[in-house]
Structure 1
Amino acid sequence: MELVLNSSSWLQDQFPGELWVQCFLSIFLTITCFSLNFVMVFIYLKEPVYQGVLRYMLFIHLLVNDFLQTALAVLLFLFARFEGIMLLSACSVIVLLSACTSMNTPLNLAVMSLERYIAICFPLHHVQLCTVNRGYIAIALIWLMGILPSMSDISIAYAYGPLGYFQGYFNCRRSLFMILPSQSTKQVALNVVYFSSIWAVVIYTYIKIMLTARKATSDKSSASKGQRTVLLHGVQLILSMSFFIYPLTEYLFKGQTLLPIRHVRFFNYYVTMVLPRCLTPLIYGVRDENFKKHLKVYLSSCRKKVQPLQSN
């Protein structure tokens, strides 16, 4: 998210046509993502087959979280592209939400992997362990763990910043809240612990499900499907971490004349921030047999409703 928040420094030399093309691409993908997410959330709320099933609850939470993150990323991008400034107190809310939703996605994937692990390796206990109430608790813990790092940075900025700092107007970016040198060290350490723990959960559950699938004699298809699902969680986790390649790609292209650095930055923003979040419904929802069936029904009914009138 820092990629978007720091983008205002490279706006000066943009051409108007280029500006509007980039804005159109960002808004178009966001609207497309929202439309597909809306249909899936509507199906989830409408169809009884999804009610009370923890994995569907976690999937819908992932959809809503990723869309919120995408919308905030595009909002900050547009705000920066037009060189807007805002009250720092308002910026703190946007930074808090954007950073929190960024952290939530990997945590949600880890919980989804654990749910599949319990379903495959401990099927007799799955109903007792993976209840809706525990799903609500898991989602609450996800948000708590996601919000704490940014909340601590904002609190430090409020405590150690200059008098009236939060009443000033700035180009909104997270670095405005990094007042103390130790905050950068803390952020790096937290990211290492955070992503290492999540990868440990995903890898562990994948290995355990793989071993169970090999030992299974009766329900091999279910175990194999669970193994593929956790593998997809790993792919989605890689996509959610793709924004870490931003400093590397900018360093590699810095100083060359073939491709302007502003194009590299927009490509990084679009590919690492916006696109991965919009792939979530395709990676999970379209693959699920229930969602696929209901999507076909709802989309076909929509096509019938918008058929042009036949002339007499």
Structure 2
Amino acid sequence: MADNSSLVGGQSLRRINERVIIVQILVMIFLCINLLLIMTFFKKECFYKTTRYVLFAVTLLSDSFLLFMSNIMLIFSYFKLTMPVWLCIIISAVVILYFTVTPVTLTAMTLERYVAICMPLRHGELCSQSSTVYCILIIHGFSSIPFIVVIAIFFASASLSFYTQYRVCSIEIFILYRWQDDIRAGVYQFYFVLMCITLVFCYVKIMKVAKSASGEQRKSTWKGLRTVILHAFQLLLCLIQLWCPFIETAVLRISLKLYIDVRYINYLTFSLAPRCLSPLIYGLRDETFVHALKSYDFFGLSKRNL
């Protein structure tokens, strides 16, 4: 029996190590691509004076930071490394914030496409540089509501001695009682519904304009519509990610092994995958951005002679 247990434990540890290695490779690839695109963004003045490119950069920075921090938490979780609860609270609070920033920014980018296509005469006014700064502040303010709610109910429930304990850091550390999980579920469901309504509204309005457009306007409008569709798919993955904690909590009550498998699949599908779509939508499909990418070498350190 001891030999069999050792064999099973060894296979489990080997499988976990393989998973960790796969995640590290994917995270490094995505971080390198994002870094290259961020460097390209700062190379041209027209990028950081245009709302859609600024929001694209916000998404890249948010995704990169979230990938880096969540990857650290994943490593600590897999290898059962503990840290003080107060430190875990700080790390988790930032992760919760940027966990929400990406889908909210994608919603703002969809609204920007709606204004550009359906309200072209007001696009310059509504999407000016000053408006973009306010938009970024609104995005972070709106995204901070879930983390404020989660932190507030946690502080109201946890004892002072809890903060000095050493625990494996995860978002679930904030859930001390079942009603806290219900409140968190309600907040994220509200965000899910609100962003879905915004997405459908923009899609329907842009579709109407696309059907009535002609010539160059028609070509530009359909390109904008395809961008919105890609945003919709990316946003859908991000919104499904909002439901993952509730699925994982339910699975944890059934089996710890199943919980680990489900959490790993959710991380790859709904955390890593949406983050690789941002470079595709604005990094590789946008002619201006592609041209800027080709103007610099792979590491963006020196300009090529074209």
User: Structures share a fold, TM > 0.5?
Assistant: yes
Is the 8 Å Cα contact of residues 66 and 98 (structure 2) preserved in structure 1? yes
Deviations 1:255-279 (A, max 9, x none): 8xxx977545423322222232133
Q: What is the one-letter code of the residue matched to 1:284?
A: Y
Deviations 1:239-296 (A, max 9, x none): 2134336738x96xx78xxx97754542332222223213321233111111122223
* Residue of 287, 290, 293 corresponding to 2:288: 290
* Residue of 56, 61, 65 corresponding to 1:64: 61
Secondary structure class of the residue paired with 1:189: helix
CA distance in 2 between counterparts of 1:158 and 1:187 reads: 14
CA distance in 2 between counterparts of 1:143 and 1:167 reads: 30
Asked if 1:20 corresponds to 2:10, the answer is no
Is the 8 Å Cα contact of residues 84 and 164 (structure 2) preserved in structure 1? yes
Percent identical residues: 28
Aligned pairs for 1:213-292 (under 5 A) are 213-218=210-215, 219-243=217-241, 244=243, 247=247, 262-292=260-290
CA distance in 2 between counterparts of 1:152 and 1:301 reads: 41
Please name the residue that 1:8 is paired with. Answer: none
Unaligned runs of 5+ in 2: 1-8
CA distance in 2 between counterparts of 1:65 and 1:25 reads: 22
Structure 2 length-normalised TM: 0.85
Deviations 1:144-186 (A, max 9, x none): 2222222232233223312322122111122222245432222
- Give the paired residue count: 289
Is the 8 Å Cα contact of residues 117 and 205 (structure 1) preserved in structure 2? yes
| CA distance 1:70–1:220, change in 2 (3 Å) | same
Please name the residue that 2:97 is paired with. Answer: 100
* Residue of 154, 167, 170 corresponding to 1:170: 167
| CA distance 1:105–1:126, change in 2 (3 Å) | same
| CA distance 1:77–1:13, change in 2 (3 Å) | farther
| CA distance 1:279–1:223, change in 2 (3 Å) | closer
Please name the residue that 1:136 is paired with. Answer: 133
Is the 8 Å Cα contact of residues 227 and 281 (structure 2) preserved in structure 1? no
CA distance in 2 between counterparts of 1:136 and 1:156 reads: 31
Please name the residue that 2:3 is paired with. Answer: none
Is the 8 Å Cα contact of residues 87 and 168 (structure 1) preserved in structure 2? yes
Please name the residue that 2:120 is paired with. Answer: 123
More displaced, 146-155 or 43-52? 146-155
Deviations 1:186-216 (A, max 9, x none): 2222122111111111111111111111122
Please name the residue that 1:6 is paired with. Answer: none
CA distance in 2 between counterparts of 1:265 and 1:92 reads: 20
Secondary structure class of the residue paired with 1:170: strand
Deviations 1:77-103 (A, max 9, x none): 101111011111111111111111111
CA distance in 2 between counterparts of 1:212 and 1:269 reads: 37
Unaligned runs of 5+ in 1: 1-11, 306-312
CA distance in 2 between counterparts of 1:75 and 1:300 reads: 27
Structure 1 length-normalised TM: 0.83
Q: Which of structures 1 and 2 has the larger relative contact order (alpha carbons within 8 angstroms, sep 6+)?
A: 1
Please name the residue that 2:193 is paired with. Answer: 196
